[in-house]
Structure 1
């Protein structure tokens, strides 16, 4: 009987520990709490850091909760009929559960208030305070580097104002990319901008396409576009829906080119000499923002 009760308590707690611990590991793997560097920081990054701390604290609190429940379960099944020990174990159970309920209630209240105050802001989705997306602050100074890309060509050689100032429809953008050997893919094998599993280039800025083709020539790699102007991305002035952002599939050649030739401005974030930014978004793409 005691063994049966012990298994019923210990196994769920072990599973809970297994699920909660990776949260802290994931936070450390993808850059920690500070998401900007120096002049690149803004008030938005402060909120983003607070959000990251909240995510970590959630994992930590649930880890403590699992430990407390395990200890209480062990005390309960080993009490041997001792009423004092049983009472202590039950009290530990109750306190742990009440603590988690209070924490979740406080989070739900804050989350509801945040979404109520910022219905059209950059908070979207479900989670601890939802997901906060900050725009990278472009420095007025230019970054000058040494070296060039494939065949002596470099993205940083292009420092003038963009010549392409309009927008493409999907067919026009696809044609321009195809001329340069750039591939567009999607999980849904479609280009409907209203579906998040499609990859659409409808309304993409001509300058965005121009800079992407320049990046391909400079890196010497075949670029693969996995995200464009379709729905499902965060809103903002320089966003996917506004035609300024493109998602690229990481490759070893592209990864090396960006990290070795562009200025590092934060954790997994880089900037070319034009002020365009490249963020390695975990786990599977480069989030490229073309503003110049």
Structure 2
């Protein structure tokens, strides 16, 4: 029995050891017999995969063969205790081998099904933040807010963002409800052009979903009206040095001409 096990072990180990030392393509194991496989057999990993599957099959066949041979040996050795014990031990060993093989298979499959298929475990695919698409729900909610602004005559300089890190766009998704009402109130109060140039899109230091901050395109009429009539609803206004007369509770110097407004909630 020990000789048989040694021969079987060498049968599996020698090809692997030999092929590991050379960089050559391995022919398809079934090509000579008209067999086809879905697995590419031109690489060592693919060859080892087939060898593994072949080994599992051979192990099952050998186990069944040992059980049959042991049963025959046991049943034809009446009165020969040693031979009956040998047959019984052969059957017992084969059954234990099957149980161990099946147990190892179940454990590996429980840990990761890819292990028993000799596949690399699946890993989550990382999508860079800048490539992550905006959800349909978010786009729909943003469109509802845009519809409110359009109905009130409030302009938005760019379309809604389609990706999470887009900066060449203007997003109104996540603006607080009171902020939306305040912007519309400015439009109704000054009866002038009110255009949003910055919302909750990426690229701002303080803007974002849930923050009551927006950028308005500067024009003197809207700036004068806000300063004269609406500061009670505003926490801060930041501007460039050229427009510092419109600043309110803000020491930050904007680099582009617009009104950066933080509304009260």
Fold match, TM over 0.5?
no
Question: Whose relative contact order is higher, 1 or 2, with alpha carbons under 8 Å and at least 6 apart?
Answer: 1
- TM-score, scaled to structure 1: 0.35
Instruction: Tell me which protein shows more strand as a share of its residues.
Output: 1
